[in-house]
Amino acid sequence: MSEAFYPFATEKAYERKLVGLIDELHKAINRFLVGLNNKGLITDSNDDDIKKQWNDYFNQLSQSVGVEMAANLAVTMLSSAERMANSAILSQLQSVADFETPAYERYEKMFGIEPSDDEKTYLKNKISENVNYISGLSSDYLDRVSGIVYRGVTNNHSLKFMTEQIQNATQISERRAKTIARSETGSAYGAFTKMKQESAGIKYFRWSTVGDSRVRDEHQAIDGKVFPWSGGWGGVFPGEPINCRCTAEPVFDDELDESELFDPDDLEAKELTRKHSAKNALNYDGPMPAKEFKHATDWFIKQGGVITSGLEIDDFLDKRGALGITYAQDVVFLKTDADRATVYEEMFHANQLFQGKIPSGDEQPIKNEIEAQNYLINNWRMLKLSKKQLAETKVNLEYWKEQLENVRSNR
């Protein structure tokens, strides 16, 4: 465990910026609505007049979150993550027993302020990715709020009712902002660490958690285990999974203890890897936009279904390593940052229950999972899933097929 090397300050700074962005939009919207209310326009004006004023203001707010602002936020976080990775490996190299000063100086020169070509390419791609996340975060928030305002004006809702609904939407978006900050900081720091260690000729790393109560059970189980940079843990590296704050300690050739190496062929290790793949198969691909979410869940709501989300539900799902759970025929739990694949999968499970496919016994729950994964795979283009999600869903499908075989073979 190397808690000191995880860039907590970088994560928190990015989180403050993203949450602050939503908070500023929230304040601006409240000022606008209070202004209309003070003028008596919300209850006394023509609906179309208010909607036009809101639409004009909505466009102003949308333009206030430009690409340049988003890029500046992303660059600040990524530059900080790179510097922290740089400082961490220099500190680790310096602390190695009998590390020769001339050799250290060579490493110090190698890991100067100027990033390598690989790092520059990564930075460029990662900046673009974060700009998309930030733009999506703000646009999704404004879409949700716009829906609240339009429904409120049309149905003569009070200002108090609308502001309460907007406050709930704000909390959801702020929660998503925190997830983006944590996931992007961890993945960037992990990627920079990998590039720097491999450039230094380091072939192995020790998986290290931050050691708190939020660490996944699977990650806690491999804490201290050694993996090759050439393959990682079945292709997974510290910091990559959503919300992961694990880090990689360098393991030098003369320190390598083969008893610490993670054995992927060990039966317990295989089960651990499969469990992790199943829980994290649908990795963070950005929250589903509000308009698409409404379209995907409309049929379920019309049949009396209830979709529950919020801070308590997020904590409940985090403990189970899930982004969503179909709790009953008419109740679905979803994380506030659930992506397309998660939403469509849980809606498919809800439909299975409506069809009477109750997950009882040993086989039916697994069969339901297999059917859901096949649905996502066969319809991935229509559902607008990313190629990454498609590949990960195929991994998930194989996991559930093996689980079904295990159940049948153990009878």
Low-confidence stretches of the chain (pLDDT beneath 50): 1-4, 97-99, 103, 113, 281-284
CA 213 to chain centre: 18
Q: Is the distance from CB of 226 to CB of 206 less than 8 angstroms?
A: yes
pLDDT of residue 372: 94
Distance from C-alpha of 351 to C-alpha of 347, rounded to nearest angstrom? 6
Contacts of 378 by beta carbon, 8 Å cutoff, 6+ apart: none
Secondary structure class of 250 (helix, strand, coil): strand
Distance from C-alpha of 226 to C-alpha of 228, rounded to nearest angstrom? 7
Phi, psi of 208, rounded to the nearest 5 degrees = -135, 125
Strands in 226-228's sheet, in edge-to-edge order, are 226-228, 204-208, 247-251
pLDDT of residue 14: 96
- What pTM does this model have? 0.69
Q: How many CB atoms lie under 10 A from the CB of residue 126? A: 21
pLDDT of residue 226: 94
Distance from C-alpha of 233 to C-alpha of 246, rounded to nearest angstrom? 13
Q: Give, in order, the Cα–Cα distances in Å from 387 to each of 180, 347, 383.
A: 20, 21, 12
Phi-psi region for residue 289, left (φ > 0), alpha (ψ -120 to 50) or beta?
beta
Burial status of residue 338 (CB atoms within 10 A of its CB: 0-12, 13-18, 19 or more): buried
Phi, psi of 333, rounded to the nearest 5 degrees = -100, 130
Q: Is the distance from CB of 273 to CB of 216 less than 8 angstroms?
A: no
Taking only the tens place, the pLDDT of each residue in 85-118 is 988 888 777 765 444 555 455 555 555 545 677 8
pLDDT of residue 109: 53
Q: Which two tokens stand for residue 229?
A: 């940079």
Nearest of 184, 182, 172, 164 to residue 140 by alpha carbon: 172
SS (H, E, C) 145-189: HHHHHHHHHHCCCCHHHHHHHHHHHHHHHHHHHHHHHHHHHHHHH
